[in-house]
Amino acid sequence: MLARLGLLALIFALTSPPASAQEREDLPKWKIDPYTQNDAEAYKAAGYVRYHRVMVHEDLSVTEVMQVLGDLEMIWVETAHFVIGCDLPEYKVPGDKILKERIADEYARLREKLPELPKKTPKKLDRWLRVHLYAQRCEDIYARLQEVLAVTDASFPAGRNQLIDGEYRGEGPYLGQRGKFVVLLTEKKSTLHRFANTWCDGNFQSESPIVHNFFQQWTLLYGTSPQLAEGYLGNDARLHANLIHGLVHAMLGGYKGYLHDLPVWLREGIAHCLVNEIEPRYHNFVQITDQFPNEKKLWIWEPRVRNLAKNKAATPFAKVSTWMTPDNFRIGQHLNLWSRVHYLMQLDPAKFASFVAKMKAPIKVPGGTSVTAEQVMERQAEAWKLIYDMEFEAFDEAWTDWVLDTYSKK
């Protein structure tokens, strides 16, 4: 009997393919990842949780999203900390040496996770390869920000109403957010705008990326497209820098749960520092009135700040530290805030992490009201005293010495 059952099982196995293979056959070709064949074991080994059937947040499925966005060949993947929707087209890597080297390095790391990738870095990045590269970039910046904040996944609660080490650190495991960070990378800007019109309160500007807080779901979204900024983001190095900048802001917003924003000098400063580690040629800005801040050699910031320090032309930190929102910011404000944060981050990374943590701890406000800018400034004074306990003038002197010692002259 057992032998007959074994035979039946064998026949069944031969005539009926495994469920995943059957599912693969049902999928259109563009949905099949050529590097994992959508094999769960292969993509999980590469760090993915699932392909295609993902939730944007707990109340919004990809099926619902695609009903509105239409027949786009949008690839949806879920990684450890992100949900990514991407319909970026194939991309020919341009003859930019810096970009080529970076992509070659990223590709080599990717290949360790996806052994089916060809050995040699391709000159053209196909649609799935772009998804894999961007997924890796997202997870890279997540890990780097965790390092800056001196936290790990274990630092955050699994869900609501849980304290960690007796401290409130948000509503969920993703830096304190309940939902994974959502990233949209769309070929057309109209796709982003249609999404924003439907699910983000119509809150978008024609040439800017979309940022949205699904506050009931404790989920933050960042969406960008090569068509934005009148096509300026069409180059992969620029799009990458733009994504990192936007994600750092979103993740800092979500850190310990999105209850209030950090002052712009601090969040923009951290974003500049982390973008500069990857792509210092293409700075991004929460706001700037200058028309061409990255042109010619203007993107090389160290000698510019060095001159500001040397000529006592820098804005005092007493003023920089009051920049809560970017009101008519010009490049001067960005140079000042970037360098102050750059200094603080390298001076004592652990102290810097404590400072940001203190800044993002909940500020008690009466029910139904929001945290005000004044309350954030009060928190900052308290956190500065607690962590750094240094007069601003003394801080400026120490910063000036450091800049003159370390920043390049050219």
Residue 378 backbone phi and psi in degrees, to 5: -60, -45
Nearer Cβ to another protein, position 33 or 226? Answer: 226
Residue 336 backbone phi and psi in degrees, to 5: -65, -45
Q: At closest approach, how far in Å is the CB of 286 from another protein?
A: 18
Nearer Cβ to another protein, position 174 or 407? Answer: 407
Q: Which letter, b or e, does each residue of 117-127 get, where b requires 16 or more Cβ atoms within 10 Å of its Cβ?
A: beeebeeebeb
Candidate residues 58, 101, 201, 391; the one interacting with another protein per rule CB under 8 A? 201
Candidate residues 187, 268, 279, 302; the one interacting with another protein per rule CB under 8 A? 187
Nearer Cβ to another protein, position 68 or 386? Answer: 68
Which class for 23: exposed (0-12), middle (13-18), buried (19 or more C-beta within 10 A)? Answer: middle
How far is Cα 88 from Cα 135, in angstroms, rounded to an integer?
13
End-to-end CA distance of the chain: 84
Candidate residues 304, 347, 349, 351; the one interacting with another protein per rule CB under 8 A? 304
Q: At closest approach, how far in Å is the CB of 202 from another protein?
A: 7
Using CA atoms, how far residue 378 sits from 34, 127, 264, 358, 381, in Å, is 54, 48, 15, 12, 5
Site for another protein in 98-117 (CB under 8 A): none
Q: Which of the stretches 47-55, 145-153, 176-184, 326-334 binds another protein when contact is defined by CB under 8 A?
A: 326-334
Q: At closest approach, how far in Å is the CB of 161 from another protein?
A: 16
Candidate residues 151, 200, 259, 341; the one interacting with another protein per rule CB under 8 A? 200
Nearer Cβ to another protein, position 252 or 308? Answer: 308
Candidate residues 45, 313, 390, 394; the one interacting with another protein per rule CB under 8 A? 313
Single-letter amino acid, residue 263: P
Interface mask (CB under 8 A) for another protein, residues 52-71, using x and -?
-------xx---x--xxxxx
Candidate residues 41, 97, 163, 292; the one interacting with another protein per rule CB under 8 A? 292
Using CA atoms, how far residue 351 sits from 148, 153, 229, 346, 347, in Å, is 10, 20, 37, 10, 8
**202 is a site residue for another protein (CB under 8 A):** yes
Candidate residues 330, 348, 397, 398; the one interacting with another protein per rule CB under 8 A? 330
Candidate residues 206, 327, 364, 405; the one interacting with another protein per rule CB under 8 A? 206
Q: How many residues of this chain bind another protein (CB under 8 A)?
A: 40
Yes or no: say if 35 and 117 are a contact pair by the CB < 8 Å rule.
yes
How far is Cα 239 from Cα 369, in angstroms, rounded to an integer?
37
Interface mask (CB under 8 A) for another protein, residues 342-381, using x and -?
--------------------------x-------------
Candidate residues 24, 111, 144, 194; the one interacting with another protein per rule CB under 8 A? 194
Binding site for another protein (CB under 8 A): 59-60, 64, 67-71, 187-191, 193-194, 197-202, 206, 215-216, 227, 289-292, 298, 304, 307-308, 311-313, 330-332, 368
